[in-house]
Amino acid sequence: YTDVFDSFCSLLASHSPQAYKTFHHHFGGRTLRSMRDLRFKQPLFEPGFSEKNIARAAETIRRLKYDGPLALSWDDTDLEKALATWKDSDGLWIVLGAAQGPMQVTSIEDVDHLIQDLDAKIDLADKVCYAAVNLADRAGTYPIKP
């Protein structure tokens, strides 16, 4: 899939997974699980506007073949330190809240074991970071892919 199509699908899925499922049924694209798997494999961003983050933004702009005006956005939102779980439609359990990123397990018992094992040594996240390129003559915001 093209980067523009992938970005649109990712944005739609983040706003409404149900709307994306309908869109996906009619027009194709990655599955929600495939999108999530790709996000899990990406490296984490450095805080703020660092040289590496600017290089990632430049790569995003090159992939989009864009040469017009733009703005870079960075959101660094504080979080309450805690773990949260949810079960996706494929039966996979996702544990959120760890600084190292989301963790996937296959059963609720595995969630309990994971939390017990990590309880003493887990570093809970206290921020969520998002960087994006906003293009002046195109509708939408494009996440900067690490």
pTM (2 decimals)? 0.42
Structural domain harbouring 44: 3-143
pLDDT for position 29: 92
Calpha distance 108→113 (Å, rounded): 9
Contacts of 49 (CB under 8 A, 6+ apart): 72, 74
Contacts of 98 (CB under 8 A, 6+ apart): 83, 118, 122, 123, 124, 125
Calpha distance 78→92 (Å, rounded): 27
> pLDDT grade, residue 139 (50/70/90)?
low
- Number of domains comprising the chain: 1
Closest CA to 60 of 137, 122, 6: 6
What value does the mean pLDDT of the chain take?
78
3-state class (DSSP) for residue 134: strand
Mean pLDDT across 88-113: 81
> pLDDT grade, residue 141 (50/70/90)?
low
Query: pLDDT tens digits, residue range 25-83?
Result: 999 999 988 888 877 776 666 666 678 877 877 887 888 787 778 777 777 777 777 77
